[in-house]
């Protein structure tokens, strides 16, 4: 059941990341094309909106990177230890990484709340509220990572290990 949830979660994230990147690319290229071929109709917000898409795609990708084990590893350092010591260090690092993500989620939420309180807006003609466009991305991304970490632990996997169970990768 948990493996099925993780598989669906991964697919939804992949679609959202793809949509964010494609939208960012289209808006950026569209803005550049209008500036080049019809400068009278150019907008001042194309790069800004493209950047928002890239920010959101980046934070959404964090959870997928955890699922796929595609993050920094210290194999060279850990290779000198026994398998038992490596496992202990691995679980300790999982705890540290999880605590870091939890702290970033809390502080990110505080930054979002503060930006919302200040009603901080972009400098372009869109006047996009920065709380939603920029600051909300961090706590959402960290919450997704923490949710995936919890499900991985419940399914018997160790997050941040770089090892993805074969059964899970076959379903993708």
The domains of the chain are located at 2-171
pLDDT at 107 over 70: yes
pLDDT at 106 over 90: yes
Output the pTM of the full model.
Answer: 0.84
| Per-residue pLDDT at 57 | 97
Instruction: Name which of 77-81, 126-130, 159-163 the model is least confident about.
Output: 159-163
Mean pLDDT throughout 27-51? 95
| Per-residue pLDDT at 162 | 62
pLDDT at 91 over 70: yes
pLDDT at 78 over 50: yes
Mean model confidence pLDDT for the chain = 89
pLDDT at 30 over 60: yes
| Per-residue pLDDT at 86 | 83
| Per-residue pLDDT at 171 | 46
Q: How far, in Å, CA of 11 to CA of 172, rounded?
A: 8
Please report the DSSP string for 139-164 in residue order. HHHHHHHHHHHHHHHHTT--TTSS--
| Per-residue pLDDT at 164 | 52
Mean pLDDT throughout 55-76? 85
Mean pLDDT throughout 68-84? 78
The CA radius of gyration of the chain, in Å to the nearest whole number, is 20
Closest CA to 122 of 42, 23, 45: 45
pLDDT at 166 over 50: no
**pLDDT band, residue 163 (cuts 50/70/90):** low
């Amino acid at each position: 059941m948990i493996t099925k949830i993780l598989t669906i979660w991964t697919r939804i994230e992949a679609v959202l990341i793809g949509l964010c990147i494609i939208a960012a690319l289209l808006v950026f290229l569209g803005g550049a094309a209008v500036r080049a071929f019809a400068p009278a109709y150019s907008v001042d917000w194309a790069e800004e909106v493209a950047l928002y898409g890239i920010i959101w795609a980046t934070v959404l990708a964090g959870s997928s990177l955890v699922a796929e084990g595609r993050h920094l590893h210290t194999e060279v350092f850990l290779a000198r230890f026994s398998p038992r010591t490596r496992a202990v260090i691995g679980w300790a690092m999982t705890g540290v990484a999880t605590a870091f993500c939890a702290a970033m989620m809390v502080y990110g939420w505080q930054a979002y709340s503060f930006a919302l309180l200040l009603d901080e807006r972009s400098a372009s003609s869109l006047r996009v509220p920065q709380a939603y466009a920029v600051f909300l991305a961090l706590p959402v991304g960290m919450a997704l990572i923490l949710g995936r970490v919890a499900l991985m632990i419940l399914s018997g996997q160790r997050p941040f290990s770089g090892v993805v169970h074969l059964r899970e990768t076959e379903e993708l």
